[in-house]
Copies of this chain bind each other. A is one copy, B any other.
Amino acid sequence: MPTPHPPHDAAPLAERLRAQGLRLTSQRQRVLAAVAGLEHATPEAIATRLREEAGPDGAAPDTSTVYRTLELLERLGLVWHTHLGKGAPVYHAAEHPHLHVVCAGCGAISSVDPALLDSAAERLAAELGFSLDVGHVALSGTCRACRDRVGTEP
């Protein structure tokens, strides 16, 4: 079983930055750690978490830095993001990609095995030459609870 909250091993970050002549900064380390420690983290949520961690006196990375850093980390392959529908995208630590399923009624998010779309991906590849990126968007629908609720509360 995977470690719940990996204390974020910073090594890959330092390496990949160095490989491109980029610099290791505390902001970059902190943003990466925040993404790793949160689930389905929006940029806003990440910024908030960083402010909490910094405390009332400490300085947290600026919002614009959070955005810029997320973009960078994604280019480096350390994080990825998914659009859950409307609103802000959510970021994940790179590890095991997964597919999201969101309830349009209550917003509940489930993670499912990306293999769910394997056959669809194969058909798209064969018929359109299109290679599916399973993780980048979430599937939308209605969860059992919301479906049961129909008719119960008009």
Which residues of A does B touch, CB under 8 Å?
83, 85-86, 89, 101, 103-104, 110, 112, 116-117, 119-120, 123-124, 128-133, 136-144, 147
Please list the 3 inter-chain residue pairs (A to B) with the smallest Cβ-Cβ separation, ordered nearest first: A129-B144, A136-B140, A132-B141
Residues of B within 8 A of A147 (CB): 129, 131
Contact between chains at B130 and A123 (CB < 8 Å): no
| Residue of A85, A131, A139 contacting most chain B CB atoms (<10 Å) | A139
The CA of A129 and the CA of B142, in the complex, are separated in Å by 9
Taking a contact as CB atoms under 8 Å apart, the answer to whether B131 and A142 are in contact is yes
| Complex Cα gap A103–B124 (Å) | 12
A3 to chain B, nearest CB (A): 25
